[in-house]
Structure 1
Amino acid sequence: MSDNANPDPRGPTPQQRGEAAPTTQQMRTVGQRRRDAEQKLNQHLDEARHHNEQPCDNPEPGTGRAFGGEVDAADIAAIQNDDSITPADRVDLIANQAIPETENDDIRPGKGDA
Structure 2
Amino acid sequence: MLELLCKSLDYIEANLDQDMTIEDIAQSAHSSKFHYQRLFLMLTGSTVSEYIRKRKLTVAAQELAVHQTKVIDTASSDGSRRNELHNERKRSFRSRRQTASCVCGQFSK
TM-score by length of 2: 0.29
Flag the structure with more relative contact order, 1 or 2, with Cα contacts below 8 A and sequence separation at least 6.
Answer: 2
More helix by share: 2
